Structure 1
């Protein structure tokens, strides 16, 4: 069975770390690279965090590409935890991974063009502002031919927002980029806050990440350092790990339920970044997104926990390989 070719377009970020490590631990996925954009934190910090994540995983074959340092049009905004900047060394140790020289947009264009020629389109996991992807689609419209689907952590409907009362952060940070992607005609699967809020990781679940060697230990420290629980909003202990759901859907789509809808985004005014979904056809417009509406919470938590634990073996194998090279 051939592996699923995936590019993760991200803005690390704690949630991004979980999604990336999940993909790296999954043999079903061939991770072609990370396209990194400013979002949760400025670009220099998202790049540094991405390099640390790749470094601690031992996967030196996965390159990190620097993308846009800001949104297409709007003033720049950062995530709730922007103050964290680059992950502190005591949370995630430094390594020697450096970003590739090629720009992330060039990487996306090159990879999708090659995929179109080979007849094996790429899946894009978009778990940050979609600036790089929008630039690739705008500058080189034939980029779309090499993309099988886009699975994105984006939007909020019944759940409302988390960065503002009306918007989910990834869309809020660059609504114009989200608009370009939504209008691209590429099949899109969207994980809105409505579904990511349904799976909450408690302190016990987070502690279980420690089984995953150095990578799992670092992930546990990250989630312990930045408490995501909100009993007032969620009604019970625990917090979501939003971005990892995109990779989980690729691995176990049977854990999720969804429905088609026409999804749009407000690109101006006070409610800029607000997403709307027409599930009943009131607008008379063709559905452009499969909106994920439900998740098997226990199944998702089990999948993420089990795959993170695999990093213990990966780190051991990487260590033995380096010892052999030294000998």
Structure 2
């Protein structure tokens, strides 16, 4: 039986690549998709997500519009990336999506779709958790419909990736964007898997991988994935920042759980400066699972295999 999946992402390049990866998974049934206006401007991100559904002949998948704008905004330069994505040669001439404001509210669509499911649903989040938290606040019974939550979020035993005024650098961006919702999410007692910087720091986007991907560019998904990752080239080492396989690693957990090293933890999340959004190990915290490592060769090979589909 296929795993039913709800995906919530925030429109950045790695989120869109993750959506594309999900659509290549034969054992996963994507039953809904929602976009959070965090690391994206909502309208172009909805367009990008729709075009990927169209490319993969999956436009029947319902899409929801995030209605939360978090607490700590991502930089505008990062949020504008979907505009570049929509201009890529493989996407620019695809049909335009509906009016972005005709999409239903993401929390409401999530509630309706999960309630209608006859089996529990896995929730994959590669952006902030605000849509899920809002849905649970409105419909606490939704807990019974969720099999597991896989969330690319957090930094437990490593430095965070937030560099911001009035912050000490301990947080990861998906949690920092809305730390209050993140802490609320813990209170619902859901089976929660953190794919945190502790693990994603092991899998950078490096030029050797991009060269391997380019060698199979006659496959259209490899070609598109290569175009998307090329848009991150200014953040690959030799410049000022490193682009990692943040969301791709979390997404691959759906298909390759045996490749991951995990541990049972108890966690809590700070909601105030100077460490707002910090995910902390706490013996009195909420039980969760933390991904700590991955078989890197297996992971990179899996991506190359899927984008040859």
What's the TM-score once normalised by structure 2's chain length?
0.88
Confirm whether residue 223 of structure 1 aligns to residue 229 of structure 2. yes
Q: Match of 1:214?
A: 220
Q: Deviations over 1:172-193 (max 9, x none)?
A: 1111111121221010011001
1:104 aligned to which of 96, 103, 106: 106
Which residue is 2:73 aligned to?
76
Distance 1:43 1:258 in 2: 33
Q: Shift of residue 226 of structure 1?
A: 1.4
Is 1:44 aligned with 2:82? no
Deviation at 1:239, TM superposition (A): 4.3
- Aligned partner of 1:317 in structure 2 is none
How many residue pairs are counted as aligned between the two chains? 296
Q: What runs of 5+ residues in structure 2 fail to find an aligned partner?
A: 164-168
User: 1:42·1:69 contact (CA, 8 Å) conserved in 2?
Assistant: no
CA–CA distance in 2 between the matches of 1:168 and 1:91?
33
Q: Choose which of 83, 87, 90 in structure 2 pairs with 1:89.
A: 87
Deviation, 1:292, is: 0.5
CA distance change for structure 1 residues 262 and 79 in 2, over 3 Å: closer, same or farther? Answer: farther
Pairing of 1:111-260 with structure 2 (within 5 A): 111-115=113-117, 118=118, 120-164=119-163, 165-210=169-214, 211=216, 213-227=219-233, 228-230=235-237, 239-260=243-264
Give the drift of 1:85.
4.4
Distance 1:189 1:80, change over 3 A: farther
TM-aligned CA distance change 1:43 to 1:296, over 3 Å = same
Query: Does residue 290 of structure 2 align to residue 288 of structure 1?
Result: no
Distance change >3 Å, CA 144–CA 248, structure 1 → 2: same
Of 100-109 and 90-99, the range deviating more from structure 2: 90-99
Structure-1-length-normalised TM-score? 0.83
Alpha-carbon distance, 1:257 to partner? 0.7
Could you give the per-residue CA deviations for residues 20-62 of structure 1, whole angstroms, max 9, x where no partner exists? Answer: 1111001010011211111111222321221232233332232
SS in 1 for 2:293: strand
Instruction: Give secondary structure in 2 for the equivalent of 1:219.
Output: helix
Q: Which runs of 5+ in 1 are unaligned?
A: 311-327
After TM superposition, the structure 1 = structure 2 runs for residues 55-66 of structure 1, keeping only pairs within 5 Å, are 55-66=54-65
Correspondent of 1:265 among 254, 260, 269: 269
2: CA distance, partners of 1:245 / 1:305: 13
**RMSD between superposed Cα atoms in Å:** 2.3
Q: Distance in 2 between matches of 1:110 and 1:66?
A: 14
